[in-house]
Amino acid sequence: MIESHDRQSPESTNGRPLHLLALMLKAPGIAPNQRYRHEQWAPYLRQDHNIHLECEAFESAALTAVLYERGHAVLKARLILADALRRWKRRNRALMFDGVVVLRQAMLIGGAWLENWLVRRRVPLFYDFDDPVWMWNRSVANGLFNLASAPWKVGRICRIATAVTVGNDYLATYARRYNTNVHIVRTSIDADRFPRYPDPTTDRPFTVVWTGSHSTLPHLDTIRGTLERFAAKRPLCLRVICDVPPTPFHNVRLEFIPWRPETEAMELSPGHVGVMPLPDSPAARGKCGCKALQYMAIGRPAIVSPVGINREIIQDGVNGLWATTPDEWEAQFERLADDAELRTRLGDAGRRTVLSGFTARQSAAAFARVVRGKLGWTNGAPN
């Protein structure tokens, strides 16, 4: 059942049907940056705003299968080039739509070739990103390929876009160097798919849960020592939901759950608390708080590093907790392990935070306002 906070907004409008082509890197259901933004918004865009979003992936299934494995450089290069050629050959399809949405980048290689082509043909271009994608990601598996994707083209795409949508103020500050039409549209949670779960039973050891992808798994290591020290004093279970398992922790009972989209909310529920540790780095400041929002949505208190948008989402001691130093992390674990009432209070407040401003329907409405505002159509006639 949809909670009252997430019912259709009175300002929602059907208007003239709009058809947008969303150029994504991956097929639907895989990448968090897509799932918690446009993939999640698409049903509400159609239902509430008469905006139809058609998703088109850059990566073939073959490329997705090997891209994040180490090695296979020749195979990866061949598949990336083949997928880039396929996308380029299909570029005329964009002319059939009212506008094109580019998520992060249209192609994994080269400059803003396709984006420039679209603008030259007067196709409205909506550019969206939820990470500091202009920074080179020094990935172990794909460092050179990430460099070949030309992250410096992000500024160029911002400059030529009809409008830019980003997930937080940090990203907006960057985008506004190049474009005055920049709008913050928050990464969101589908409240129906992430219902409130009761606190785990007391016969389960204190359980800390972390969820994410291989790219953010190193952030969990920043509190490895704290978790191991805490586990030396009392039983501790660490539940990790990811596409790859972490290195085992000393003294800590580790539960590794391979990530699956259909069970991600349920797999979080055995945790007493969710964690989102981050380094205070330029890349981390661009994160949009998705992990914290997931924990909060199911009613779990979140302990976060107060970096970037985390400081906006979570008020320390009100709807979650902050921790920076190892001693602070350990103290927050102690507080929550010993106080079920505190866990419930923070968990309830966290869910209210999600429902009040971070739902998929709310973010879809914000995105629809940008699109209809720039295309000049609301109720079937130009503004």
pLDDT digits (tens, 9 = 90+) for 242-292: 989 999 999 999 999 999 888 999 999 999 999 999 999 988 899 989 999
* Whether residues 81 and 169 fall in one domain: yes
Q: Between residues 382 and 167, which one has the greater pLDDT? A: 167
The string of pLDDT tens digits covering residues 264-278 is 999 999 999 999 999
pLDDT of residue 353: 98
pLDDT of residue 30: 87
Q: Please state, rounded to an integer, the average pLDDT across all residues of the chain.
A: 91
The string of pLDDT tens digits covering residues 75-86 is 998 999 999 999
The string of pLDDT tens digits covering residues 38-86 is 999 999 999 999 999 999 999 999 999 988 888 788 899 899 999 999 9
Q: Between residues 225 and 32, which one has the greater pLDDT? A: 225
Question: Is residue 364 domain-resident?
Answer: yes
pLDDT of residue 135: 87
Write the CATH number for 298: 3.40.50.2000
* Whether residues 263 and 165 fall in one domain: no
pLDDT of residue 9: 47
Question: Is residue 277 domain-resident?
Answer: yes
* Whether residues 159 and 302 fall in one domain: no
Question: Is residue 201 domain-resident?
Answer: no
Q: Which domain holds residue 178?
A: 4-188+359-375
* Whether residues 27 and 172 fall in one domain: yes
Q: pTM of the prediction?
A: 0.90
* Whether residues 329 and 219 fall in one domain: yes
pLDDT of residue 141: 47
Q: Between residues 367 and 243, which one has the greater pLDDT? A: 367
Overall number of domains in the chain: 2
Specify the amino acid at residue 5.
H
Read off the pLDDT band of 137 (50, 70, 90): low
* Whether residues 151 and 81 fall in one domain: yes
pLDDT of residue 140: 46
Question: Is residue 194 domain-resident?
Answer: no
Yes or no: say if 271 and 209 are a contact pair by the CB < 8 Å rule.
Answer: yes
* Whether residues 238 and 162 fall in one domain: no
The fraction of the chain above a pLDDT of 70, given in percent, is: 91
Q: Compute the chain's Rg from CA coordinates.
A: 21
